[in-house]
Amino acid sequence: MVKEWDVLPDFEPGHITLPSIPKFQYQGRLEDELSGRLSPQEAFFLLELMLTVRAVEEQIAELRDGAFKPTPDFQFIGATHLSVGQEAVAVGGISAVRPDDYITSTHRGHGHSLSKVAFAIRRMKRQDLLAFLAAPDDGASDEDLRERAMQHHLFRTWAELFGKEEGYCRGRGGSMHIAEFALGHLGANAIVGGSIGIGTGAAMASQWLGTDKAVLCIFGDGAVTEGIFHESCCLSTMGHLKQGPPVIYLVENNQYSMTGQTRGETTSLDYLAQQAAAYNSKALNAEVVNGMDVLAVRDAVLRTVEKCRAGQGPVLLECMTYRFYGHSLSDSRTRYRSRTEEESWRGLDPIKRYGEQLVRARLATEQSIEDMRQQIVERVRQAAVAAAKATDPDPARIADGLFAETTSDDIGPEWKTINFVRQPRKATRDSEGRILFRHAIAEALMEEMIRDRRVLLFGEDVADYGGAFQVTAGLFEIFGRERVFNTCMAEAAIVGAATGMAMVGMRPVCEIMYIDFLLLAADQLFNQAAKSRYMFGAKATVPIVVRTTVGGGKGYAGQHSQSLEAVCAHFPGLKVVAPSTAYDAKGLLKASIRDDNPVVFIEHQLLYTDRGVVPEDDYIVPLGQAAVRREGKDLTIIGYSKMVQVAMGAAELLESRDGVSAEVVDIRTLCPLDLDTLVKSAEKTGRVIALSQAPRTGCFAEHIAYELQERLFDKLKAPIRIAAAYDVPPPMAQSLERENIPDAEKVARIAAQILSQ
């Protein structure tokens, strides 16, 4: 296929004109909104919810300093990042999106969480309210049910903040990681900017699935200088996208990243929205909004969310606001900001000023507002008392929810691909039924993309070119750019977007060219994809596959030859797969794509041209099952990926030269690790060598050695030995690289030493 566009030279002199970014355009009043865009009941609810958000956070402050104790022996632990003063952004922004739209949030996210669920409750039908309450229909009125639902919402919020089983995330996430996937809240995030990639991916998936759902991706001013913000903006404005993803990047600019002041200190910009001009000709439809005015925020989101639904996203809204407290309650804030500044912003208190508008519009009186405030404070207090008495999670169930036990094996024909750009074709087998390892990978991808059209493939150079190692060649021609597409160079955003896509119903496969480059995506893989399910109380399902390669032996040196699989294995929640044969490459990749957990799938570059018998029929190789590649009785050699070939070579050497019978075990998946097979083999032979291409210190072979020695110490005939690389970065020089990577001869020498003991 010929690319759809050409890049031709054009050196005509001229100037680049950057688009103008409007600021503070909304000058409306409540009376104007009441003429059509806002009912009196909705107007009043905006104040009620802002008061609720503030009451919760002020009680957190009282809990922290001991002024309020819900039970006599109560001890408050956990994070205390308050958004007092910022209520207009959370309430105004979320009031303008639909209940089925998505939000992502921040470590300062109590207002976002409270608002997302509260607005959903307000719009629920009777059966939805009963389901939310998990209660039978007792004949109560809808309004009574809504009141009970709101109280239940407050209870579950407090329960999460207190680390209780009844909390939104079963106490696993706490204040900084609260989520409610059933109502479109994809999670608060303790990593600054951590959810921007996720929000971007959720919007891309929404567009692909045709659900008409938008994403309100909320983050603070500090996140705008994080790499994930830049990468996500680049990803969401890629030129080949037919429409812009329906995502609103909402910057909650409270003027301070932590103690560093955004304007005049940590940036040279008057407004962070100015950065939007870098990303597309529309400057992300950016606006600067008065974040102290709930109606201004609501207006901006109402207008721009419709742009997003019409395919004109993404949008950047910078809401100028202020936090009345410090970064956390341990921060007195007096060392880095003046009283004059603080008093000026407090004079714009969004709750007070909006309350005055309600009074002027004759929807309330000062006394009725005060009465409502006191009622809300009491309601919030009662919920906190109930939550303090809730259930502490059982330590015996500490691992609950780490992995999903489900797969997409039984999806049926609903998602089957019907239309193709070009008809699919299997790889050509030789006379023995063999194909190349890389063709086995491509065939697995093709079969799963046919079976399930929610499977997408994307990454750097994977489309027309077929990937750096030609592994994905031909898939673009079959499925087109909608299913197989290149991304900008943005490893963090690639993995983050895949995570967001998976959370809302897709099954993405993304490629990171070298495992060395995974370190650029470390936060999105290790802090987001790996932890989301557990951290959010087993509500998140994240079926992504991150395909990557390891090298060594090609002279690529220290930044293209590392073996970082043990780093991936260190993060609970990830499955890590490393096939050694073409048959396993296909079967394990198909199993990984169907698995409902994030999988890091590691392909060794030196295996790509190996041949193996690979059936054309549909099959999978289950994750978590090792394979005995060679039976033996004197010694066990354990490896994975390319090291299995080294182990087999060593076993043959030992047998031909010394008459030693070595058993070779291919673990195939590092996580989950099939210890039963390893223990059985080690128990039989009494001697073990574990192989790794990584540096010896901290390599996965060390973990294998520990696990076996813990279980079999009294049955081993000699200490377990490790054959691994030196503790140096991979060298380029051929003589050094050969010395660094274990080979059959080195393993055989270690075996001779073990056998002599």
Catalogue the active-site residues: 560
Give residues with Cβ within 8 angstroms of 271, minimum separation 6.
Answer: 21, 23, 288, 318
Q: Which residues of 596-633 are buried (b: 16+ CB within 10 A; e: fewer)?
A: bbbbbbbbbbbbbebbbebeeeeebbebbebbebbebe
Rounded CA-CA distance 354/320 in Å is 16
Rounded CA-CA distance 472/485 in Å is 11
Residue 221 and residue 262 in contact, taking contact as beta carbons nearer than 8 Å:
yes
Element (H, E) at 608: none
Rounded CA-CA distance 263/271 in Å is 7
Tokens read off for 741: 């990577």
Rounded CA-CA distance 20/299 in Å is 20
Residue linked to tokens 């009662």: 382
Give the pairing of strands 662-666 and 627-630. Answer: antiparallel
Rounded CA-CA distance 527/492 in Å is 11
Rounded CA-CA distance 425/617 in Å is 13
Rounded CA-CA distance 479/594 in Å is 19
Please give the torsion angle defined by the CA atoms of residues 644, 647, 649 and 655, in that order, rounded to the nearest 10 degrees.
-140
Strand ranges (E), 556-714:
575-577, 599-604, 611-613, 627-630, 635-639, 662-666, 669-671, 688-695
> Residue 747, SS3?
helix
> Residue 440, SS3?
helix
Element (H, E) at 315: strand 315-320
Rounded CA-CA distance 47/50 in Å is 5
SS3 of 228-264: the string is: HHHHHHHHHCCCCCCCECCEEEEEEECCECCCCECEC
| Cβ atoms within 10 Å, residue 120 | 22
Tokens read off for 488: 């900008």
Residue 611 and residue 645 in contact, taking contact as beta carbons nearer than 8 Å:
no
| Cβ atoms within 10 Å, residue 121 | 22
Residue linked to tokens 């004059």: 340
356 phi-psi bin (left φ>0, alpha ψ -120 to 50, beta other)? alpha
The answer, yes or no, to whether the previous bond of 314 is cis (omega within 30 of 0) is yes
Rounded CA-CA distance 369/366 in Å is 5
Tokens read off for 482: 């909608």
Residue 535 and residue 168 in contact, taking contact as beta carbons nearer than 8 Å:
no
Q: Which of 560, 454, 522, 461 is nearest to 204 (CA)?
A: 454
Sign for the pseudo-dihedral over CA of 545, 546, 552, 554: positive
Residue 685 and residue 632 in contact, taking contact as beta carbons nearer than 8 Å:
yes
> Residue 442, SS3?
helix
Sign for the pseudo-dihedral over CA of 752, 753, 756, 757: negative
Residue linked to tokens 């109930």: 386
Determine whether 745 is exposed, middle or buried from the number of CB atoms within 10 Å of its CB (0-12, 13-18, 19+).
Answer: exposed
| Cβ atoms within 10 Å, residue 702 | 18
